[in-house]
Amino acid sequence: MSARTKARKRALDMLFQADVRNESLAAIVAAEAKRAAGEPDRAASWLYAREIVDGVVDHQDEIDELISSYAQGWTIERMPNVDRAVLRLASWEMLYNPEVPPAVAIDEAIELAKLYSTDDSARFVNGVLGKISQHAE
């Protein structure tokens, strides 16, 4: 598994935790930073995970607006927590990280949805991110 794939999973974990626990992302990130400092093998994925989370926080209003506009029949609040976190993560990568090709961001998001969410989530995530990718062009 690549360092970026691990970083995406860590970012997903942090976004999900903050959402489910109704805690600030700052508190979750601080706890993860402390944990990463004690585990040198996590250093490679930590920096990019932190970049993703910080980026989602910085652009959450715009990201959520796009997700809401393309998620037909779903409000952001009604989505499963994992799907919401995956969509935010991949949307940030497509919109604000030019180093990541949109196809890679979408493929990685689909894999996360398959692993951690419902049977229908991968298709839903793919559809929403496909539309966001077209918007970003």
Range of the domain at 103: 3-136
Return the CATH number at 58: 1.10.940.10
Q: What is the pLDDT of residues 14-41, one digit of tens each?
A: 999 999 999 988 899 888 888 887 777 7
Within 8 A by CB and 6+ apart from 23, the residues are 17
pLDDT value of position 36: 80
Total domain count, the chain: 1
pLDDT value of position 119: 86
Task: State the Cα–Cα distance between residues 60 and 30, nearest whole angstrom.
Answer: 19
Q: What is the pLDDT of residues 75-111, one digit of tens each?
A: 999 999 999 999 999 999 999 999 999 999 999 999 9
Q: Is the pLDDT of residue 136 over 80?
A: no
pLDDT value of position 40: 74
Task: State the Cα–Cα distance between residues 28 and 16, nearest whole angstrom.
Answer: 10
Mean pLDDT, the chain, whole residue set: 92
3 touches 72 (CB < 8 A): no
92 touches 63 (CB < 8 A): yes
